[in-house]
Amino acid sequence: KQEVTQIPAALSVPEGENLVLNCSFTDSAIYNLQWFRQDPGKGLTSLLLIQSSQREQTSGRLNASLDKSSGRSTLYIAASQPGDSATYLCAVETGANSKLTFGKGITLSVRP
Amino acid sequence: EAGVVQSPRYKIIEKKQPVAFWCNPISGHNTLYWYLQNLGQGPELLIRYENEEAVDDSQLPKDRFSAERLKGVDSTLKIQPAELGDSAVYLCASSFRSGTQYFGPGTRLTVL
């Protein structure tokens, strides 16, 4: 059974800091890995999707990397801003039915 | 383009009462998902539809939960009777085939 772990559960940083969010998964047989953002009381917004054959994806100040063999992914946020405050969830897709398995998320607070 | 629409956004009921949630996916998306998200947890898949067919309902507690997608467009998730432990956020997502999933804002259910 696939398990996705995100540690720590919460993180607080000052504005402008570069930061890394970690995600690990137990079964390396994945189709892809996604990072989502969830604001309080809202649904999930997909930030980046990395196919199993890829090593990284970039979008603006966000960069996600994937090391499938070691079961790890990182989300790098450059020059963090208060507007980046949210919960960031990692999810891996496995199986023929495109099943997404989510981590519990990391709640990020960026202090002005 | 409109996103995934869910209603109601909030619902408070007493235990043993029935409740229903509605989801309208993004136009053209043939795959629809219902997820359950408990507080501090990542979403967990309840059921996945390909058009009208439920292709993965292995995590749906069928003794009290039911879902339908009669015309392959919008969908309804029902709980009857609701229990205290059903208090959670119910998320709907849609995708074109097995592509990126787009999430709705969710319905927050409170069972008293």
Indicate if the pLDDT at residue A14 is higher than 90: yes
Residue B39's closest chain A neighbor by CA? A104
B91 in contact with chain A, both atoms CB, cutoff 8 A: yes
**How distant, in Å, are the alpha carbons of A9, A44, B12 from that of B87?**
22, 19, 9
Tens of pLDDT, residues B53-67: 998 898 899 999 999
The pLDDT value given to residue A71: 96
- Closest residue by Cα to residue B42 from A32, A91, A80: A91
What does the DSSP 8-state code read for residue B41? Answer: S
Closest approach of chain A CAs to the CA of B25, in angstroms?
A: 13
Tens of pLDDT, residues B63-79: 999 999 988 899 999 99
Q: Which residues make beta-bridge pairs with B54?
A: B49
A64-84: buried (b, 16+ CB within 10 Å) or exposed (e) per residue?
Answer: bbbebeebbbbbebeebeeeb
- What is the Cβ-side half-sphere exposure of residue A79, based on CA atoms within 13 angstroms? 2
Tens of pLDDT, residues B79-110: 999 999 999 999 999 998 877 889 999 999 99
Mean pLDDT of the region A71-91: 97
Chain A residues whose CB is inside 8 A of the B45 CB are: 99-100
Mean pLDDT of the region A62-89: 97
CB atoms A91 and B48 under 8 Å: no
Residue identified by tokens 């619902």 is: B11
CB atoms B91 and A44 under 8 Å: yes
A96 — pLDDT class (breaks 50, 70, 90)? low
The pLDDT value given to residue B24: 97
